[in-house]
Structure 1
Amino acid sequence: MRTKQAVADAVALLALMGTASCDDGAGPSGSQSGQVPAGKNGGRAGGGSDGDGTAGAGGRVEARLAKVAGTDELVRLISNATTCTSASTKPKDTTFSDIDDSSEGAAVDIARTNATWGIKERVTCDGRDACVNGHELLVISDMARFEAAFKARQAADLAAGEGHTRTRWFIGQNFAARIFATDSDERDMLSLGALGLNCAPHYAAPPQSTTQPAIVEGCILTNYVDA
């Protein structure tokens, strides 16, 4: 359980971060602020080291985001932003179409993809509608590898006319999450110590938002959630 001091520290850090308006549309590139949201409600803010999801991050913003110990803690963290029930780590439930090439969810295919994307563990849970496609939750072992794979997939999807430029993935120090919920729930992800990841070419968040370079060139981290 977090101590009162840790909670106070998180509140103080949140107060330092400028609030962003979430109007529709995109504009010129955002400011290069050094402020990041602090982890809370199960997400632990702080530095990391190689092997725990922050490989390649060094002193970058990713290393100052929230961190989880594993899938159980990740589910508890996400539950503070949106409904997250009936969690599962089974391959048949954690085969995600925007990550995996195979729809069968074979263990060998998942292991291969995990290695490519720097994924350590996978878990999914149901949103308030309990839809077939639940929230996609990943514990990351190498964030630089994840960002590189995500950038390549986003570029391929856009080239095929199947992707979009909206920010829908959120990352912490060692986790990545795509939640299928309301815009309000997605914005609540920011208060958990996460930032949106976007690698779409020429993507620009509005000027009132906070935007920072991610580990991989061509990717950004932002506190702007597209409506």
Structure 2
Amino acid sequence: MRIKRILATAAVLTALATLTACEDGEREGGRGGAAGAATAPPRGPGALPGPTEVSTLAEAQKYVQQYAPCENMSASPEDKRLPRTPLTAVGAWSVTERGVCADRDGREGITLYLTSDMKAFQEAYKQRVMDRNRADEPTYGLFSRVFVGGNLVVVPSRTETAVALAESGLRILTCNAGFGVPKGYKKEKALVEHCVLSDFVNSDDGKGSVNHQTPEEEGKERGESARPLPSRAPGASLGLPSAGSLTGLRKLVEHSVDCSRFTTDPETVSIRSIDYLPAVEGDHKAWGVRERGICGEPGGARRAHGLVWLDTVHDMLAFQNREKAAQLAELKENGRIRATRSKVLIGTDIAVETNDQASRHGLYQQQFLHLNCRPGFTAPEGYRLEKAVVKGCVLTNYED
């Protein structure tokens, strides 16, 4: 089963997902570092309070040293501790300088980048994550170690170093749609859509930030998160988006869904296409839907293109009961949910039906969750898994 394969490879993908530099550039045998790394000095009044512009790698090193060891700095392209990928070399991703220093005992490296355009860097990283997610690597980027602030990017190898840097003014850039910032941690807008900045270190090695929304092992202290259980019980909701009308919903999802062409015409809304099957079929009022509209090209002389249905829901229990029955019926008939069938992404009083993965990526970042009613379904640690209104279903941002 694919979910088991994903869980089995999660530890490997953790290292791969920090940054494409780490993902593509890890040498056989691990990173080699110079010996003699010192313990990080205690932070005092001189510690930089937040993201800042730095002029040189030496200044960047000084900033990092206030939170973690960063010794034996080198900017030589021949340094074996540097990632071998050309994707984040000087000149790519708006990188102007790149260096590496030794962490702790010198066996692990911290890569530092200076960039002339932080937005361009974030856009390049986001595109890399999306490309790998679409290439059947759904956990790529979920356990990000990409710290950004001002014109500085810092990518530590060790989870413990990431936890230490999370106390700085730098923020972790995460662009995997499955990531949600747990309660109690900072959540800020990135410079690009569908990415988020936070101080939460997401990790599957048991050493990241404590997620108080998931069960914790007895006696764990901050900086050591619990390992996932084989099967997770859905928890209470961390919050879902809401809109008071179709107009508000259309505005809410405009960066995730192409809704430049939109109509509420009943005949058009009820259209069926070989490439786009709606989730809601029949009388939408019986589903508890108040208003219903459709985005995209409904077809005619040409095939339909980009169809997405928007719903405002006044009876979420009725809606989820209907969707549960529809999913179970299709699973019984076909053994699976057809790829052309739209997945339902739920808000508090709204729903979006789409079979487009890129649109769902953006919607997950907006905290919409997919209603999954498949018997036995669960989600790996790091993904949201919450109780649905109807028994036998869950809300999640994980797709298997």
TM-score, scaled relative to structure 2: 0.38
How many Å apart are 1:98 and its aligned residue? Answer: 3.5
Q: Distance in 1 between matches of 2:260 and 2:384?
A: 31
Matched, 1:118 2:288: yes
Could you tell me which of 72, 85, 95 is aligned with 2:247? 72
Aligned partners of 1:203 and 1:148: how far apart in 2? 17
The counterpart of 2:281, out of the listed 90, 93, 100, is 100
Say yes or no: does 1:206 pair with 2:380: yes
Deviation of the 1:164 alpha carbon? 1.5
Specify the alignment match of 2:359 in structure 1.
185
The 1:84–1:186 alpha-carbon spacing in structure 2 relative to 1, beyond 3 Å, is: same
User: Counterpart of 1:88 in structure 2: which amino acid?
Assistant: T
Equivalent in the alignment of 2:369? 195
Contact 2:345 2:353 in 1 (8 A): yes
Deviation of the 1:197 alpha carbon: 0.9
Tell me the equivalent position of 2:348.
Answer: 173
Unaligned runs of 5+ in 2: 1-185, 190-195, 205-228, 273-277
Superposed CA RMSD in Å reads 3.5
Which 5+ residue runs of structure 1 have no aligned equivalent? Answer: 1-8, 22-26, 37-63, 102-112
Q: Decide which of 127, 130, 139 is 2:312's aligned counterpart.
A: 139
Q: Are the equivalent residues in 1 in contact too, given 2:311–2:352 (CA < 8 A)?
A: yes
* C-alpha contact (below 8 Å) 1:139/1:174 kept by paired residues: yes
CA contact (8 A) 2:279 2:344 kept: no
Given that 1:213 and 1:219 are in contact with CA atoms closer than 8 Å, whether structure 2 keeps it comes out as: yes
**Pairs aligned (count):** 173
The equivalent residue for 2:257 is 82
Residue 140 of structure 1 and its aligned partner are, at CA, apart by 0.4
Deviation at residue 194 of structure 1 after TM alignment: 1.2
Aligned AA (1:134): L
Paired AA for residue 256 in structure 2 = A
In the TM superposition, what is the alpha-carbon distance from 1:142 to its structure 2 partner? 0.8
Higher relative contact order (CA 8 A, sep 6+): 1
Name the counterpart of 1:158: 331
CA contact (8 A) 1:31 1:210 kept: no
Identity of aligned residues (%): 24
Decide which moves more: 191-200 or 203-212: 203-212
